[in-house]
Amino acid sequence: MAAVIEARGLTRYFGGLRAVDGVDFRLQQGEIHGLIGPNGAGKTTFVSLLSGRVPVQSGSIMLNGTDITHMPAHLRVRAGVAYTFQITSVYPRLSVFDNVALAAQSRGAGDVVAEVADALNRVGMAGLEQALAGTLSYGHQRLLEVAMGLALQPSVLILDEPTQGLASGEIAGFKALIRSLVPQTTILLIEHNMDVVMDLADRITVLNFGQVLAVGTPEEIRMNRVVQDAYLGVDHAAG
């Protein structure tokens, strides 16, 4: 299967801390790829390297066969990499429509009204165009953030802890939304909720201390003894 993103030897140090240490990574076209690991494993730094928010110290990043290693973040957005943040990043004093329109306009959309309508339809927010973003529930703000990402028409959508703060009743709907985005959009999902990751992901990469600990299907990751010891908290003695 073709790689949308292929990273080789990605490295980023902060002082003496090896936040990302020689990571190889392959994101395949049309998949939902989970990225998991303990707190401090380097997940957010790694996706910040992919999106251009943090510069790479060594290694390379290819996007659809083009080297984007040193491309600035705003040009990566135009090239097709959209990153929704761990903390909701909507503009609270603007309407839902204006939030999504700003995203569409940032990449030079032709028919902004139609593209906003399409993005809001895809996340189930049609009819809320004139609501102020700051008055929405937390769950709807997360959906709005995804709509803003979709308005960029990305080939890769990076979702950082998208279910954080959602009520249990909202998570099922969010999972259905994520499934509906593929294969048109390739998803990289950073998520602490293991039930969500195991249910959604086609493949999972596990990071630990800035390095790749394992890559595999959800079942392979669940059965991996090294991953169990480092992250999943399985007590072998009890089994």
**Three-state helix/strand/coil letters over the chain:** CCEEEEEEEEEEEECCEEEEEEEEEEEECCCEEEEECCCCCCHHHHHHHHHCCCCCCEEEEEECCEECCCCCHHHHHHHCEEEECCCCCCCCCCEHHHHHHHHHHHCCCCCHHHHHHHHHHHCCCCCCCCCEHHHCCHHHHHHHHHHHHHHCCCCEEEEECCCCCCCHHHHHHHHHHHHHHCCCCEEEEECCCHHHHHHHCCEEEEEECCEEEEEECHHHHHHCHHHHHHHHCCCHHHC
**pLDDT tens for residues 34-52?**
999 988 889 999 999 999 9
Query: Residues 164, 131: one domain?
Result: no
Q: Are residues 149 and 164 in the same domain?
A: no
166 with 239, same domain: the answer is yes
The reply to whether 126 falls in a domain is: yes
For residues 93 and 132, state if they share a domain. yes
- If asked whether residues 86 and 96 sit together in one domain, one would say yes
On whether residue 179 sits in a domain, the answer given is: no
- Cα–Cα distance measured from residue 85 to residue 231, given in angstroms and rounded to the nearest whole number: 23
**Residue 227 confidence class, pLDDT cut points 50, 70, 90:** confident
161 and 72 in one domain?
A: yes
Domain contains 181: no
Residues 6 and 51 occupy one common structural domain = yes
CATH code, 20: 3.40.50.300
| pLDDT for the residue numbered 238 | 38
State how many domains the chain has.
2
Q: Domain for residue 41, yes or no?
A: yes
Same domain, 87 and 72: no
Q: Using one digit for the tens of pLDDT, what is the confidence trace for 37-91?
A: 988 889 999 999 999 999 999 999 999 999 999 999 989 988 999 988 644 578 9
Q: What does DSSP say about strands 186-190 and 58-63: parallel, antiparallel, or unpaired?
A: unpaired
Does residue 62 sit in the same domain as residue 163?
yes
Based on the fold, state whether residues 54 and 166 are members of the same structural domain.
yes
**In which domain, by residue range, is 196 found?**
1-76+155-171+188-239
Neighbours of 79 (CB within 10 A): 17
Same domain as 60, residue 4: yes
What HEC string does 154-185 produce?
CCEEEEECCCCCCCHHHHHHHHHHHHHHCCCC
**Same-domain check for residues 231 and 164:** yes
Does the pTM of the predicted model rise above 0.85?
A: yes
pLDDT in tens, 197-221: 999 999 999 999 999 999 999 999 9
